Structure 1
Amino acid sequence: MRHLLPLSLLALLASGCERMPEDSVFLYGRLLKEDGSPQAGSLRVERALNRSFVDGQYNPEVDWNFEPYSEGDSQDSGDFTLEIVYGDTYVEDLYSYASHRFRVYPPLDADGNGVFVAFFFQDDVELPALRPWTSGLAVTSGPEGPTLSFAPAPPGPEVPPAGRQREFYDNEGNVVPRPPSTTMPVVQLHGAGALVWQQLQAASPWVPSPYVLEDFQGVEAQVRALSADEWYFEPLAAQYSSVTFRMEWRSPRVAVPPGGLTPISRGAGCSAAPVDGACPFTDGKLLPRDTLPESQQPGAGSDFGVEAVSFTLPAPARPRRLVVRALETTLGYTPRMRLVLEGSTDAVSWAPLGDFPIVNYDEKDRNRELYSYALTNDEDSPFDAPIVVFNGPLFLDAPLTGDAPVRHVRLRVTGEDGKTPGRLLKLAELSLFE
């Protein structure tokens, strides 16, 4: 029953009254050590506003930028109470209304473990307990190369005694509670300022192939986990309150031995090319780039991106392996698509080298629909680059077919039927190996 009494009393005092901008609302929670015992320590509170829908205009280039709001401390019991001015939770103008998104987190511990919660909320609410995850991430040498081992992902946060999960209507019109969101473990391999690889739903032990490691130097491994939920509070004789949150845990980074494979595509030219000079998709720098920047688009109303990117190898070769990093397409919003690689000797006649079915998401996964709002902002983390859960970048490591040498290769995407063309929006790197 922790916090139930103060939450009810505060709501009772406000019963029947609209919140005024100068009123206070409160966030309750607990800070815990990795072993689950109470932690007395400092907390940071930050907030962000997506202004793309404010001021009567839509601007997709404006994103969430968190800024410091306040600081707080937990007691020896681990409990904390954070005060927020109600008028600081939203922005309203003549055309629109927008809620600030808040995040609360303790500093990283001495080992680099961390946890945070980012959320929208209404009135007084309880936050999930902030407890870092001891992942035990380790990198060892195995017969297949470096092996990553780590603990199972932490369970999703428990609903506090004063709250309950929100409900929804099923297909028969019955009111049922939302299922708890399961925690997703994610392995990331970091290179020089960009991702070498990202593996969602990763399981320990995890072994990256030598093609994934390529010849990159200074690679570091990290394991992260995320969960989401929506809680509803209805104190006695008072209006309800709610919190919709994304919670993430992160481990420190651990060095990975360098790979030793240089792709035959390194330095290959490409078309369409987003920049003059060397192709940014084969330079080994791993930075995601637009396939065709807005300045090069045909005109207003045109589709962004390109239907295909073609590459010219330095010399004819027989590609046996394909690695694609951080590919974004117009079909990433569909449940399934196909990634197609073709080869040619003259860039006129094309033959298949690989046709890969891609599952972007399970359309039967109700949690995707229920928690899309909770996971609305991928850039919530105060510690790391974003984890994009829905419609995220594609990473693929797959064998190729075809025995004839080719000088040119072409990458494109289609719908699940293999006929409906998609467009390539962004790409970090394409690597081919013999």
Structure 2
Amino acid sequence: MRSSLTKLSLLALLVTGCERMPEDPVFIYGRVLHADGAPAAGSPLKMERALDTRSDLSGIPEEVEGRTWDYAPYSAGTSEASGYFTLEALAGDLYTERYFSEGYYGYLQHRFRVAPPLAEDGHGVFVAFFLEDDVELPPLQQWASGFSVGDGPEGPRLTFAPAPPAPTLPPSASLPESYDNEGMSTEQVPPSTPAPVVQLHAADGVVWQQLHAASPWVPSPYVLEDFSGVEAQVRAASVGQWYFEPLGAQFSQLTFRLEWRSPRLALPAGGLRPLSRGATCSPLPAPGPCPFTDGKAAAVETRPGSTQPGPGNPEGFGVEALTFTLDAPVRPRRVVVRGLETTLNYVPRVKVVLEGSLDGATWTPLESLTFVNFDPEDRGRQIYQYSLVDTDADSPFDGPMELFTPPVFLDAPLTGEASVRHVRLSVRTEDMQFAGRLWKLGEVSLFE
């Protein structure tokens, strides 16, 4: 296959010259494998295309020349007996020309996605990627996760195999390098090492997400609360970048997100109802009941529709704090925070701060809980967090799975001794010197 890459690239060079014309073909090579490593012969493949959603930062409308942000069918193919496949795109379809306001002219990049069908047992794999010319994709090999749900003394017991290894660099490719503040190369950066991510799904959103989960994993009864119809699954992903310089052809860069998923398995309904269910909250994002104590998992913007700075909203979105008011004074013993997104996703560690009050005027600390946004020593994150932003929602099978700035999910005891009627939630940097804003939130649950 790799010799074909060289021959085809050389042919393209002889026909078109050094610069690709819009109608010139660009070739995408890959291989489909079963979980045991055997070739997946005759596997149907679909390649889809979408505009890179990073472009929405420029205020570009949702449609450009009839092409939307969502993935749409682009081409299809079938793997050979060896599992290898070749897909084709046109050079002119890798980017869309765009005239911006005030005479600025530029290009919008397209992102592609290739996915074989789900296995009979529900396992799946796909790759989303950017490319500049001919590239070789990482192998699309199913993950033998062995995912199962059993009964344990503390509740449902989820077991699964270790995550697949990171994809191996093709012989024709090279790795990006990390540089220090003085512009000196420090090390090559391979694709990230996959780690299991457990997700618990309700009908309207994610009930829980556990990063770097270890098997067996048992959700606490507080995590399950009184949700019903919850399904569990385990996922994993690797992000990476490869450079190709084939003989007689143009340089090409491949930036990819390779992701695996298990089937979803049902969990028994939980049996704990939080004392905060139905509590009022302030400020309310919209008229009606508080969406953060209604027992629904969907994350809601704390200030929806507010995208411009203004009075009480200097950063353009989010609120400084949310206050929950209970029916009567209680001593909360535990808190579960689900799906919290904040403006402090740029710092490695954030403090989720809970305070209590009887009268809503005098506040005392309940707990300060640390959440790890990311490892500041992760060299790969410096490369991929911008080039692969918003690919968390690229799965053709499942909802989002954010790798670089994951939403906050916390389940922790509260040590305060005082009874309170009001509970205030906010976020600060780990040293408590700077306050952030709450952008989105799924649910806050307090238990006695």
Normalised by the length of structure 2, the TM-score is 0.92
2:141 counterpart SS class: coil
Note closer, same or farther for the CA distance 1:403–1:53 as it changes in structure 2 (3 Å cut). closer
2:380 counterpart SS class: helix
Give, in whole Å, the separation in 2 of the partners of 1:292 and 1:399: 28
Matched with 1:360 is 373
Q: Is the Cα–Cα contact under 8 Å of residues 32 and 140 in structure 2 kept in the other structure?
A: yes
Report the CA distance between 1:394 and its aligned residue. Answer: 0.3
Give, in whole Å, the separation in 2 of the partners of 1:61 and 1:362: 34
Do residues 213 (structure 1) and 224 (structure 2) align? yes
Q: Is the Cα–Cα contact under 8 Å of residues 228 and 374 in structure 1 kept in the other structure?
A: no
Matched with 2:49 is 47
Structure 2 residues without counterparts, runs of 5 or longer: 100-104
RMSD over aligned Cα atoms? 2.0
Letter in 1 for 2:129: F
- What is the 5 A alignment of 1:30-45? 30-40=31-41, 41-45=43-47
Give, in whole Å, the separation in 2 of the partners of 1:53 and 1:96: 11
Give, in whole Å, the separation in 2 of the partners of 1:287 and 1:161: 45
Give, in whole Å, the separation in 1 of the partners of 2:174 and 2:47: 24
Letter in 2 for 1:201: H
Report the CA distance between 1:333 and its aligned residue. Answer: 1.7
Matched with 1:142 is 152
Matched with 1:17 is 18
Give, in whole Å, the separation in 1 of the partners of 2:53 and 2:221: 43
2:404 counterpart SS class: coil
Matched with 2:332 is 319
Give, in whole Å, the separation in 2 of the partners of 1:298 and 1:366: 33
2:131 counterpart SS class: strand
Q: Pick from 270, 277, 284: which aligns with 1:273?
A: 284
Letter in 1 for 2:197: V
Report the CA distance between 1:236 and its aligned residue. Answer: 2.0
2:4 counterpart SS class: helix
Matched with 1:402 is 416
Matched with 1:346 is 359
Letter in 1 for 2:269: P
Which 4+ residue blocks in structure 1 deviate beyond 6 angstroms?
A: 60-63
Give, in whole Å, the separation in 1 of the partners of 2:274 and 2:406: 25
Report the CA distance between 1:171 and its aligned residue. Answer: 5.9
Give, in whole Å, the separation in 1 of the partners of 2:416 and 2:186: 54
Give a deviation string over 1:165-185, Cα, whole Å, max 9, x none: 233435672464223321132
Do residues 243 (structure 1) and 254 (structure 2) align? yes
Matched with 1:335 is 348
Letter in 2 for 1:419: Q
2:257 counterpart SS class: strand
Give, in whole Å, the separation in 1 of the partners of 2:232 and 2:266: 6
Report the CA distance between 1:193 and its aligned residue. Answer: 2.0
Q: Is the Cα–Cα contact under 8 Å of residues 44 and 71 in structure 1 kept in the other structure?
A: yes
Report the CA distance between 1:42 and its aligned residue. Answer: 0.2
Letter in 2 for 1:28: Y
1:230 counterpart SS class: strand
Report the CA distance between 1:397 and its aligned residue. Answer: 0.3
Give, in whole Å, the separation in 1 of the partners of 2:60 and 2:107: 15
Give, in whole Å, the separation in 1 of the partners of 2:48 and 2:214: 32
Matched with 2:5 is 7
Matched with 2:88 is 83
Matched with 2:109 is 99
2:393 counterpart SS class: coil
Do residues 413 (structure 1) and 440 (structure 2) align? no
Q: Is the Cα–Cα contact under 8 Å of residues 339 and 411 in structure 1 kept in the other structure?
A: yes
Give, in whole Å, the separation in 1 of the partners of 2:159 and 2:321: 38
Give, in whole Å, the separation in 2 of the partners of 1:239 and 1:291: 48
Give, in whole Å, the separation in 2 of the partners of 1:133 and 1:265: 40
Note closer, same or farther for the CA distance 1:52–1:228 as it changes in structure 2 (3 Å cut). closer
Q: Is the Cα–Cα contact under 8 Å of residues 62 and 69 in structure 2 kept in the other structure?
A: no
Matched with 2:79 is 74
Report the CA distance between 1:12 and its aligned residue. Answer: 2.0
Note closer, same or farther for the CA distance 1:175–1:280 as it changes in structure 2 (3 Å cut). closer
Letter in 2 for 1:196: V
Q: Is the Cα–Cα contact under 8 Å of residues 162 and 195 in structure 2 kept in the other structure?
A: no
Report the CA distance between 1:189 and its aligned residue. Answer: 0.3
Number of aligned residue pairs: give it.
Answer: 431
Q: Is the Cα–Cα contact under 8 Å of residues 335 and 413 in structure 2 kept in the other structure?
A: yes
Give, in whole Å, the separation in 1 of the partners of 2:215 and 2:62: 38
Letter in 2 for 1:235: P
Give, in whole Å, the separation in 1 of the partners of 2:354 and 2:392: 30
Report the CA distance between 1:371 and its aligned residue. Answer: 2.4
Give, in whole Å, the separation in 2 of the partners of 1:309 and 1:335: 23
Note closer, same or farther for the CA distance 1:52–1:126 as it changes in structure 2 (3 Å cut). closer
2:92 counterpart SS class: helix
Normalised by the length of structure 1, the TM-score is 0.94
Give, in whole Å, the separation in 1 of the partners of 2:165 and 2:44: 24
Matched with 1:157 is 167
Give, in whole Å, the separation in 2 of the partners of 1:170 and 1:311: 46
2:270 counterpart SS class: coil
Do residues 384 (structure 1) and 398 (structure 2) align? yes
Give, in whole Å, the separation in 2 of the partners of 1:328 and 1:146: 28
Letter in 2 for 1:7: L
Give, in whole Å, the separation in 2 of the partners of 1:258 and 1:191: 11
Matched with 2:264 is 253
Give, in whole Å, the separation in 2 of the partners of 1:61 and 1:410: 37
Note closer, same or farther for the CA distance 1:118–1:323 as it changes in structure 2 (3 Å cut). same
Letter in 1 for 2:266: A
Note closer, same or farther for the CA distance 1:52–1:144 as it changes in structure 2 (3 Å cut). closer
Report the CA distance between 1:407 and its aligned residue. Answer: 0.9
Percent of aligned positions with the same letter in both sequences? 61
Do residues 370 (structure 1) and 387 (structure 2) align? no
Q: Is the Cα–Cα contact under 8 Å of residues 189 and 379 in structure 2 kept in the other structure?
A: no
Task: Using the TM superposition, name which of 115-124 and 413-422 deviates more.
Answer: 413-422
Give, in whole Å, the separation in 1 of the partners of 2:425 and 2:368: 10
Matched with 1:302 is 314
Give a deviation string over 1:348-390, Cα, whole Å, max 9, x none: 0011111112221111111211222453222111111011112
